[in-house]
Amino acid sequence: MNTPFKPKITLFHCINALSDKDALNEMGSDTLELKVVKLPCSAMVKDIFLLRAFETGADGVAVMVCPEGTCRYVEGNIRAQKRVAWVKKLLDEIGVGGDRLALHNIPHGDIAEAVRIINQTVEQLIESGPNPAF
Most confident residue range from 14-23, 107-116, 118-127: 118-127
Candidate from 61-70, 85-94, 98-107 with smallest mean pLDDT: 61-70
User: Is the pLDDT at 2 greater than 90, yes or no?
Assistant: no
Confidence of residue 24 (pLDDT cuts 50, 70, 90): low
DSSP 72: T
Q: How many residues does the chain have?
A: 134
Report the C-alpha gap between 6 and 41 in whole angstroms.
29
pLDDT (0 to 100) of residue 1: 47
pTM: 0.89
Domains and CATH numbers, the chain: 8-128 (3.40.50)
Most confident residue range from 43-47, 70-74, 84-88, 104-108: 84-88
Report the C-alpha gap between 109 and 97 in whole angstroms.
29
